[in-house]
Amino acid sequence: MSAHFHSFPRGAGATVTECPPAARFSLRLKADHRAAASTALGLDLPVRIGAVVTAGRRALMLGPDEWQIDGPPGDAPALPGGIPHALVDISARDRTYLLEGPRAADLLTLGIARDLSGLHPGQGCRTVFDGVQVVLLREGAERFTLSVWRSFAPHVAHLLATGLREFHAGL
């Protein structure tokens, strides 16, 4: 499979790039086991929904008992059998796009009916982009990553490309 399937036009004030594949895991476990899981994973799992912690791997807390764990390609985190949990490799499920530039947040508003000013650098959330569930991380003031299930990626990529063309046309 090719890591790149969509070519994005250059927009005025924003760029979109498809990110190379990475290891991604969905972790579900009860709060009582968070400390033991953190030790096994080598990073402190965040305790606040939307918080991101990076220490080699990156963990985003998506819900009260749910984290997304990202790592380099081929990463294979494991938890000891004594910790009740579900750790599922979802690496092949998503496509991730990097949006950068002073108009990156504007570009996201084409599909996200949410005020992004409250999403600060180092925070993330599960949200909806034009009816499609996505995971959005604010990497910096003008830098976001948007992850979408592979089957919906062409739809999301088309909307982002349309927005970039509109920016370039001055719309």
Phi-psi region of 116 (alpha: psi -120 to 50; beta: other; left: phi over 0): alpha
What CATH number labels 23-89?
Answer: 3.30.70.1520
CB-side neighbour CA atoms (13 Å) of 84: 4
For the chain, domain boundaries: 15-21+93-169, 23-89
Is the predicted pLDDT of residue 61 greater than 60, yes or no? yes
15-21+93-169 CATH fold: Gyrase A; domain 2 (3.30.1360)
| Residue 152, number of CB atoms within 10 A of its CB | 17
Do 15-21+93-169 and 23-89 have matching folds? Answer: no
pTM score: 0.90
For 118-147, write each residue's pLDDT tens digit.
999 999 999 999 999 999 999 999 999 999
